[in-house]
Amino acid sequence: MQTQSGVRPPQRADARRNFDALLAAAREAFAEHGTTASLEEIARCAGVGIGTLYRNFPTRQDLFNAVYLGEIDALCRAADDVAGLDPWDALATWLRRFVGYVATKRAIYEEINRDSEMMRGAREAMYAAFEPLLARAQEAGVARRDVSADDLLRLVSGLTAGGYVDEAQRERVLAVALDGVRTS
């Protein structure tokens, strides 16, 4: 069965490990070097040959799509993982994970067809995972009620667009933004 990206994940355990290693290496390479990252270097970092990369991802576009959808899947799983936390902690923890997603997305954004069915489905899945976290924080009285999920995701996306001296600075800026969402 093919995924939304059109790429079929392998069934054998060893092949699946290679597939997952390629996605992880591609995610890092695209975040660090953008869409021009070397496919040969991605394969090398994943510990596989270039033939294995092309067998799993016949085109660079297939690799972009698979990395993007992998990030969406991870965001949706992260929402489930934090659902048992205190409402504010769940919201803030998920938004910190969202920052990582935005960095990867920004690196490959121009290469993805934003009007595709795949992108619409991914966006819907992400919002469906996040909206209950925000609603729970609002119902608990720890997050402003006048902020929508779209408002908050756009705010955090905008914050991550800027360059930062280091991760500590990025975290401080996110903390300032979250203070603006948190009720006193």
What pLDDT digit, counting tens, does each position of 142-154 carry? Answer: 999 999 999 999 9
Q: In this predicted structure, what is the pLDDT of residue 93? A: 95
Q: In this predicted structure, what is the pLDDT of residue 26? A: 94
Domain membership of residue 47 as a residue range: 13-59
Looking up residue 54, the CATH number of its domain turns out to be 1.10.10.60
Q: Please check whether residues 46 and 81 belong to one and the same domain.
A: no
Q: Kindly state the helix (H) or strand (E) to which residue 150 belongs, with its residue range.
A: helix 149-161
Show the low-confidence residues of the chain (pLDDT under 70).
Answer: 1-11, 104, 107, 110
Residue 1: inside a domain = no
Give the burial string for 24-48 (b: 16+ CB within 10 Å, else e): ebbbbbbbeeeeebebeebbebbeb
Q: Which of 126, 124, 27, 174 is nearest to 19 (CA)?
A: 27
Q: In this predicted structure, what is the pLDDT of residue 4? A: 44
Residue 147: inside a domain = yes
Classified as helix, coil or strand, 113 is: coil
Domains: count for the chain: 2
Q: Please check whether residues 144 and 162 belong to one and the same domain.
A: yes
- Please compute, for residue 101, the number of CA atoms within 13 A of its CA located in the half-sphere on the CB side: 24
Q: In this predicted structure, what is the pLDDT of residue 114? A: 72
Q: Please check whether residues 67 and 116 belong to one and the same domain.
A: yes
CB-based burial label for 125 (10 Å; 0-12, 13-18, 19+): middle
Q: Kindly state the helix (H) or strand (E) to which residue 140 belongs, with its residue range.
A: none
Residue 7: inside a domain = no
Residue 5: inside a domain = no
Residue 3: inside a domain = no
Q: Please check whether residues 117 and 36 belong to one and the same domain.
A: no
CA distance 115 to 110: 12
Q: Is the pTM of this model over 0.85?
A: no
Q: Please check whether residues 50 and 81 belong to one and the same domain.
A: no
Residue 168: inside a domain = yes
Q: In this predicted structure, what is the pLDDT of residue 8? A: 59
